[in-house]
Chains A and B, each alone.
Chain A
Amino acid sequence: ETGVTQSPTHLIKTRGQQVTLRCSSQSGHNTVSWYQQALGQGPQFIFQYYREEENGRGNFPPRFSGLQFPNYSSELNVNALELDDSALYLCASSWTAAGVEGYTFGSGTRLTVV
C-alpha cells in the first residue's frame, strides 16, 4: 500500500506566474483535500475533491482551482501568484466513508513566490 505522494517537493515561482501542484492519493482512497500551511501556522483548508467534483471549499479566492482525475489523483492550480501564496501545500487523501478520520497527509510542496 503506497502513501500520499506530492510533487514537486520544492518550487520557486515569480509573482504573477501560475503553478500546478500534484498529488497521488493513497491506494483505496477516493477523496482528496488540499491545505495551505503558512510558516508557523496550522494548515488551512483550501478545497476537497470527490468523484472529480469540488466537494467543499475554504476561504480562498477563485484563482485557487483544482482537478481530480479518474484514478483519484489531483492537481492544485494557482493563478496570478502573490507573495503571500508562499507556503507549504499539503494534500490529504481519504476514503469517503471514513471522512476526516481516515486522512493521510503527504509531505507537501514548499512553494516560494519571489
Chain B
Amino acid sequence: ETGVTQTPRHLVMGMTNKKSLKCEQHLGHNAMYWYKQSAKKPLELMFVYSLEERVENNSVPSRFSPECPNSSHLFLHLHTLQPEDSALYLCASSRGEYNEQFFGPGTRLTVL
C-alpha cells in the first residue's frame, strides 16, 4: 500500500473516445505529478501540480488535459488520442516538489 491509488488500472479506448484517469493520494502531500512510461524509455514528466497550482507542463499535446480540484485528487482527461499514446500512466505525489515521490500503481492505456 503506497498511499497513492489510481483508477482504472487498465483502459482500452478508441481514438475518438473521451476518458479520464483518476489519482488520489492519502499521504497529505502538496505536490502531484502525471508521468508517461513507455517500454525501455525514461519516465516522461507530463504535469506537475503544487498546492493545486500547475507549475510544469512539459509541452504535452492538448489531447491530454489535467485537472487538480484539491491537493488529494488529480485527473488526466483524454480525448482523440493516438495509438502512440499507448503506455503506462503513473501518478505520483510528494511532500514538496523536491522530495522523494510516491507512485501509484499506474493505468495501462491502450489506444486502438
A joins B in a complex: no
Which residues of B are in contact with A by a Cβ distance under 8 Å?
A: none
